[in-house]
Amino acid sequence: MSWLVLVLSGVLEAVWATALGRSDGLTRLGPSIVFVVAMIASMIGLGYAMKELPVGTSYAVWVGIGAALTVVVAMATGTESASVAKSVCLAAIIGGVIGLKLLH
């Protein structure tokens, strides 16, 4: 259960990071509300997962999922350019997250 919560919390990290970028410095109400709600839910989930999983592994997986999904969303929406080099780097992040899971 902790792993599922951790993965969902990582997805929520991507949600709040994307919403923060779209909030125009927290001046747009809708994205600002999404940012705050997703951030709180993401932190609660991370804290829950850390009750059973090691802190280092939990944090690395949470950040890796959030960072990778944030870049993928940005590339998919055209707010960030896509390239082979970026794809290779994303694959390295995802591979690291999978490796940490397998080693736990």
pLDDT tens digits along 31-41: 999 999 999 99
Give the model's confidence band at 104: pLDDT under 50 very low, under 70 low, under 90 confident, else very high: confident
Predicted confidence (pLDDT) per residue in 32-91, tens digit: 999 999 999 999 999 999 999 999 999 999 999 999 999 999 999 999 999 999 999 999
**C-alpha span between 34 and 84 (Å, rounded):** 31
CA dihedral (47, 3, 90, 68) positive or negative: negative
Cβ partners under 8 Å of residue 88, min gap 6: none
Spatial distance between the Cα atoms of 44 and 29, rounded to a whole number of angstroms:
23
